[in-house]
Structure 1
Amino acid sequence: MAQQFEDKFHRKFYYLRLSVTDVCNFKCTYCLPDGYKPSGNKNSSFLSLPEIKRIVTAFADCGTNKVRITGGEPSLRRDFPEIIETVANTPGIDKVATTTNGYRMANQVDTWRQAGLTNINVSVDSLDPRMFHQITGENKFHQVMSGIDKAFEVGFEQVKVNVVLMKDLNAGELPAFLHWIKNKPIQLRFIELMQTGEMDELFQKHHVSGVAIRNQLIADGWILKARGVNDGPAQVFVHADYLGEIGLIMPYEKNFCASCNRLRVSALGKLHMCLFGECGVELRDLLQEDSQEQELIARIQAQLANKSVSHFLQDGNSGSTPHLASIGG
């Protein structure tokens, strides 16, 4: 194995978030309120299967053991099952996850599981079909919920559900969400609304701090769970009376980045040190031949020397990220 990917702050990177498309068919208020708009470059195409294989192999050879396939909406790619299979068959990768809006799950999640998917996250921002429609721009609540049921049917032991809580929209639904997971093995992940380049006004209007939720959970007997080496950034809480769990993702909290263990590659083959970093580093020219792997690894390792100790969200600086779909959320 090549040298473990590590930055100058001695953070090791076990986790790759790999975007395979920036296209999404939902119009979530906090991400793509006006819907997907293609980038201006007509010659750009998303990473091919061979390119995906090369990037994942390089990461696996440097200690990465978890890959999350993201978008946009990754299931919009017709070869999504082949992408899962390619990642799952890479030596060294033992966790293959995806984040989806869930609208195709009822019909396709069995195929994804057979292809090698081990973990699944679904975005469900409201348990009220009308509010779900208002936030996502799509009247697909019942299809998404059927997809979650189907995931359990085909053998997933846990489904993670992502919720972006927003003041004056869905923030009052916390009791309903808690009731929902009482007897279901769902890890409910409350994600703080994050400020991006196109979302300043929305952020000011709807941001809810996760600290108040955490304080309420602790008061109600929820206990913090130990964090795994390739886990994402959530603080996960468990309760003796609940089958489900709760995760809090609070990027504005001090030291949020101290445990960073993940890197990102965009659907166009750019390496991003951070969701809120700058323009990214081109890798695609080194994804054309298997023989380029050592050069590819060297370029990634060189960039790790430039990874900042933290993002600067707390200072109101969201970097150059225009919206969350642009590099895979």
Structure 2
Amino acid sequence: MSSTAIPSLLDAHGRRIDYVRLSVTDRCDLRCQYCLPKGFDGYAEPAEWLSFEEIGRLVAAFAALGVRRFRLTGGEPLMRARLVSLVSQLSVIPGVDDLSLSTNGTRLAAQAAALRQAGLSRLNVSLDTLDKQCMEQVTGRDSLESVMAGLQAAREAGFALIKLNMVLMRSVNAHEVERMAAFCFEQGFVLRVIETMPMGDTGRQSGYMSVEEILPSLVQRFDLKPSAVTLGGGPARYWQTADGRGQIGFITPISQHFCATCNRVRLSVDGQLHLCLGQEDRVDLRQPLRDGASQEALMTLIREAMQRKPERHVFREVPEQLVRFMSQTGG
């Protein structure tokens, strides 16, 4: 191997794993109905959380194995104290080419500029509706104004690519997809419409609806065409307006699963490496860290873990299999 060659982290099915979604907290200041049940308080204790030093060691190990994309998630990652300092730490690790963040946007206004300056590349903001009452129904809180302020601050901070993630729910917000698309085209955001997943009772009861049911009307209204564009390392399939200036991404884990090209794993705040969002396969990386594992030993554990990554999820076949919630896994 030449000194400039990039190593590849391959799983047992020949897929290159180059994307890690890293949860920094399982806590959130919203209670989205597809994510957290009312009254839930089974959070990890702070002593169980990976420290910033531990996170840095794991990111460095993944990067040395060829992983180039890292996304900070939660819960709501902006609830983790001193998150900006973690961004500063991770952004300078050799091999980290793309460091992004998923957020609900409620705390973004106060932190957007500092995050950008610290080296954060991109933002995904959860926004399921533009209707104030619907927002309160979905999230359990009147949070629309604070999210809009966060989006404005992010744009002013210089984030060029801001994606808005809309979870599609029948009888809740499906009627708003066209309104959301028009808003994103006007404001220069990229809308991504996401099918709900049967994770925990909350996910199974959220009102699944296939993207295929709303796609024809969007294509007709906005004259959309399939696009070969890829915005980031995720599984979205993009369509664009005729002039190419607006894009909509569709993420279809149920109706058209993308397991054959899966390139990601998830690391929860307590150091569990989840190998598939729709399976229970996981590897504990926290204990080896705290037992003093060397960097080479961590890399070996990660390589071995990839050989356990399942070929595909079983959301359709066994929807009741997963009892953990999305916030417990990392978004």
Give the TM-score of the pair, scaled to structure 1. Answer: 0.92
Which residue is 1:267 aligned to? 269
RMSD (Å) for aligned C-alpha atoms: 2.2
Distance (whole Å) between structure 2 residues aligned to residue 42 and residue 238 of structure 1 = 44
| C-alpha distance 266-223 of structure 1, shift in aligned 2 (>3 A) | same
Distance (whole Å) between structure 2 residues aligned to residue 111 and residue 216 of structure 1 = 40
| C-alpha distance 308-189 of structure 1, shift in aligned 2 (>3 A) | same
Distance (whole Å) between structure 1 residues aligned to residue 22 and residue 37 of structure 2 = 23
Distance (whole Å) between structure 2 residues aligned to residue 328 and residue 248 of structure 1 = 20
Q: Which runs of 5+ in 1 are unaligned?
A: none
Distance (whole Å) between structure 2 residues aligned to residue 59 and residue 74 of structure 1 = 20
Distance (whole Å) between structure 1 residues aligned to residue 6 and residue 294 of structure 2 = 14
Which residue is 1:26 aligned to? 30
Q: Residue 61 in 1 paired to residue 61 in 2?
A: no
Q: Residue 114 in 1 paired to residue 97 in 2?
A: no
Identity of aligned residues (%): 35
Letter in 2 for 1:49: F
Q: Residue 252 in 1 paired to residue 225 in 2?
A: no
Which residue is 2:241 aligned to? 239
SS in structure 1 at match of 2:99 = strand
| C-alpha distance 243-143 of structure 1, shift in aligned 2 (>3 A) | farther
| C-alpha distance 62-107 of structure 1, shift in aligned 2 (>3 A) | same
Distance (whole Å) between structure 1 residues aligned to residue 240 and residue 316 of structure 2 = 28
Deviates more, 1:7-16 or 1:273-282: 273-282
The partner residue of 1:80 within 57, 68, 83 is: 83
Q: Offset at 1:253? A: 3.1
Q: Offset at 1:310? A: 0.6
The structure 1 segments of at least 4 consecutive aligned residues displaced by more than 6 Å after TM superposition are none
Letter in 1 for 2:251: I
Are the counterparts in 1 of residues 198 and 322 from structure 2 also a CA contact under 8 Å? no
Letter in 2 for 1:54: R
* 1:76-107 deviation line (CA, Å, top 9, x unaligned): 01121011112111111111111101011111
| C-alpha distance 306-197 of structure 1, shift in aligned 2 (>3 A) | same
Which residue is 1:221 aligned to? 223
| C-alpha distance 321-234 of structure 1, shift in aligned 2 (>3 A) | farther
Deviates more, 1:286-295 or 1:52-61: 286-295
Q: Offset at 1:35? A: 5.1
Are the counterparts in 2 of residues 275 and 321 from structure 1 also a CA contact under 8 Å? no
Deviates more, 1:44-53 or 1:253-262: 253-262
Distance (whole Å) between structure 1 residues aligned to residue 37 and residue 276 of structure 2 = 23
Are the counterparts in 1 of residues 224 and 241 from structure 2 also a CA contact under 8 Å? yes
Which residue is 1:4 aligned to? 8
The partner residue of 1:133 within 136, 140, 151 is: 136
Distance (whole Å) between structure 1 residues aligned to residue 163 and residue 45 of structure 2 = 35
Distance (whole Å) between structure 1 residues aligned to residue 231 and residue 242 of structure 2 = 24
Are the counterparts in 2 of residues 13 and 263 from structure 1 also a CA contact under 8 Å? yes
Which residue is 2:160 aligned to? 157
Q: Residue 100 in 1 paired to residue 103 in 2?
A: yes
Letter in 2 for 1:140: S
Distance (whole Å) between structure 1 residues aligned to residue 179 and residue 305 of structure 2 = 44
Give the TM-score of the pair, scaled to structure 2. Answer: 0.92
| C-alpha distance 232-171 of structure 1, shift in aligned 2 (>3 A) | same
Distance (whole Å) between structure 2 residues aligned to residue 8 and residue 272 of structure 1 = 15
